[in-house]
Structure 1
Amino acid sequence: MATDKDDALIDAAFATVRASDPPPSDDLVARILADADATQAAQHSASRQRSLGGGWRGLLGVIGGWRGASGLVAASLVGLAIGAALPASLSAVVPGAVAASYDLTDLGPSYEIVAEATE
């Protein structure tokens, strides 16, 4: 058939090429090492510049830049205004918000279920 070809000649050629693995020349090794040194120096200086800009720049980067910072400031001011508002005006919007009192024990788990299960 046309697809069944004898690959012995090609396999022998590949085996010959694999067996003769010439070492790289000294010039090639020197150029590779010089390129690696230049790349490493560039990466080191870039990471040094980034580390010098930490602090506020890092915080701004985490919260999304100036847009995130302005949103955070706006939300903080609105929260401060709502917190400083009179409770009477808050109770007009949310009835029963001021009258209800909660304790930290209300937020914890209740052990009544455990007591009922052991009985």
Structure 2
Amino acid sequence: MAGKFELKKSKNDKFYFSLLAGNGQTILSSEMYEAKASAVNGIESVKKNAGDAARYEKAVAKNGSPYFNLKAANGQVIGSSEMYSSESARDAGIESVMANAAGASVDDQTAA
């Protein structure tokens, strides 16, 4: 099963998206956007940049958990991962985003 983006609206009327792997696990989450069009542009930016290994920033949280950010060409973060238990799990997460993002469909859950 292919990956997909879920586009959602928060309780405070902001928009965000998540990229899910084929198994339904969230592998990348966006920031909150004021406008739906901005969130849609974010999805397109993830699709465009996900295949470029240089766009991934590997990081470690204060509690020692590895995670990553996906950045656009301008250096802006367009998505962040969950916290992982190990660097190898984080690297597998990056590989999953690289494999799933470009061809992922968009499930728009914002329509009332």
The structure in which a higher percent of residues are strand is 2
State the structure with bigger RCO (CA 8 A, min sep 6), 1 or 2: 2
Which has more radius of gyration? Answer: 1
Which band: TM-score by shorter chain? under 0.3
The structure in which a higher percent of residues are helix is 1
What TM-score comes out, normalization by structure 2 length?
Answer: 0.22
